[in-house]
Amino acid sequence: MELPRRQFLRLAGGAAALPPMSCIATAQSYPTRTVRIVVGYPPGITPDIVTRLIAQSLTERLGQQFIVDNRPGASSNIAAEIVARAAADGYTLLTVTGTNAINTALYEHLNFDLIRDIAPVAGLIRSPNVLVVAPAVPAKTLAEFIVYAKANPGKLNYASTGSGSAANVAGELFKAMARIDLVHVPYRGSFFPDLLSGQVQATFSSIPQSIEFIRAGKLRALAVTGVQQSDALPDTPTVATLVPGYETYVWDGIGAPANTPVDIIDRLNIEINAALADPTMKARLADLGTEPMPMTPAEFGKFVTAEAEKAAEVIKSAGIKLD
């Protein structure tokens, strides 16, 4: 029997308002096979360690393997490009870091656009940097370090993993705001052997990378770069106590290829935030000197954009160029 036109339109309109069944089915069934999380760093570096913790939790929560694929090189640009070009199906993800945000301003000709080609999924962790110095440096406090640097312009140096790295950006921002002259020494590999021996005097390190040296008394922590003191270094003041407004962090999150289905992104976001809320996970992250950074996809997207803009300002004002 032919439906009256008015009734047909009413039924058709109601059907259009329903969510597509394919999207619901995708969300309910995902994942059906192994998910790869690409990390732009070698094993043992903080983003790798944090990603492995999250991957293990997601494997347990979702019943499929989440594996870490280390693709170091070109300041994490290789890893980001792999994910930017991957199928947008939720089975290839990226560990996004502050370095990726910095790279948007540092590199003029990338084969991808971080903001356009990587969809934000979730925040993972953040950690303040820590200003550490070699034992031979006479300054025992941040105030003494600033006074000493002003009395010896250009004679103190600080190490980083390269021009435009998180440590370099943190160091240049500190130089400008504290009005001191430090010499930047970029390294292609680890600078810790030279720092421990006093060949270089200071660095702005992530807490996870330096905390064991600090605990062993091999390096001296002068200040952390967050707005609050770190639970991992409770006796270490913030840089902002003497340099008002100074604030930098290292951070990690998860991204996916642009156009990954929203329902898959939302499911990953829910599961990652649940993992970050787990007391055992919190304790393990705290032991690394980091804290959970749960966010919605939209919040993480805004955060990455803001971090990229902040880095661009420092790079421009300090004249930071690639090595």
User: What is the token pair recorded at 257?
Assistant: 């290829």
Shared domain for 280 and 210, answered yes or no, is no
pLDDT at 46: 87
pLDDT at 140: 96
Q: Which of 7-11, 61-65, 270-274 has the lowest mean pLDDT?
A: 7-11
Per DSSP, the three-state class of 201 is: coil
CATH number reported for the structural domain that contains residue 234 in this entry: 3.40.190.10
Query: Is residue 101 situated within a structural domain?
Result: yes
Shared domain for 26 and 75, answered yes or no, is yes
Q: How confident is the model at residue 321 (pLDDT cuts 50, 70, 90)?
A: confident
Shared domain for 34 and 86, answered yes or no, is yes
CATH number reported for the structural domain that contains residue 258 in this entry: 3.40.190.150
pLDDT at 188: 82
In 3D, which of 143, 144, 183 has the Cα closest to residue 163? 183
CA distance 309 to 169: 13
User: What is the token pair recorded at 157?
Assistant: 């140096």
Query: Is residue 323 situated within a structural domain?
Result: no
Shared domain for 108 and 183, answered yes or no, is no
Query: Is residue 1 situated within a structural domain?
Result: no
Q: For residue 16, is pLDDT > 90?
A: no
Which one of 241, 271, 289 terminates a domain? Answer: 241
Shared domain for 275 and 307, answered yes or no, is yes
In 3D, which of 304, 237, 256 has the Cα closest to residue 92? 256
Which one of 189, 222, 241 terminates a domain? Answer: 241
CA distance 192 to 219: 10
Residue-wise pLDDT tens digits, 39-48: 999 888 889 9
Q: How confident is the model at residue 190 (pLDDT cuts 50, 70, 90)?
A: confident
Shared domain for 101 and 37, answered yes or no, is yes
Q: What angle do CA 76, 229, 52 make, to 5 degrees?
A: 35
User: What is the rounded average pLDDT of the residues 179-200?
Assistant: 93
Residue-wise pLDDT tens digits, 251-296: 999 999 999 999 999 999 999 999 999 999 999 999 888 999 999 9
CA distance 277 to 280: 9
Shared domain for 102 and 84, answered yes or no, is yes
Per DSSP, the three-state class of 216 is: coil
Range of the domain at 41: 9-127+250-318
pLDDT at 5: 44
pLDDT at 67: 98
Q: For residue 7, is pLDDT > 90?
A: no
181 in Cβ contact with 201 (< 8 Å): no
Shared domain for 74 and 147, answered yes or no, is no
pLDDT at 9: 39
CA distance 154 to 172: 13
Residue-wise pLDDT tens digits, 91-128: 999 999 999 999 999 998 899 999 999 999 999 999 99
DSSP 288: T
Query: Is residue 293 situated within a structural domain?
Result: yes
How far out from the chain centre does Cα 216 lie?
Answer: 26
Q: For residue 21, is pLDDT > 60?
A: no
User: What is the rounded average pLDDT of the residues 213-242?
Assistant: 94
Q: For residue 165, is pLDDT > 90?
A: no
212 in Cβ contact with 199 (< 8 Å): no
Query: Is residue 162 situated within a structural domain?
Result: yes
Which one of 184, 214, 241 terminates a domain? Answer: 241
pLDDT at 175: 96
pLDDT at 144: 98
- Choose from 230-234, 291-295, 319-323 the range with maximum mean pLDDT: 291-295
Q: For residue 157, is pLDDT > 80?
A: yes
Shared domain for 186 and 133, answered yes or no, is yes
In 3D, which of 271, 273, 260 has the Cα closest to residue 300? 273
CA dihedral 204, 205, 206, 209 (to 10 degrees): -170
Beta bridge partners of 130: 205, 224
Shared domain for 33 and 95, answered yes or no, is yes
In 3D, which of 81, 82, 100, 93 has the Cα closest to residue 119? 93
Shared domain for 31 and 111, answered yes or no, is yes
Q: Tell me: cis bond preceding 31? Omega within 30 of 0 counts.
A: yes
Total domains, the chain = 2
Residues contacting 281, CB < 8 A, separation 6+: 53, 57, 275, 292
Residues contacting 213, CB < 8 A, separation 6+: 132, 192, 196, 219
Query: Is residue 193 situated within a structural domain?
Result: yes
311 in Cβ contact with 166 (< 8 Å): no
Query: Is residue 188 situated within a structural domain?
Result: yes
Shared domain for 136 and 115, answered yes or no, is no
What is the percent of the chain where pLDDT is above 90? 78
User: What is the rounded average pLDDT of the residues 286-314?
Assistant: 94
Query: Is residue 208 situated within a structural domain?
Result: yes
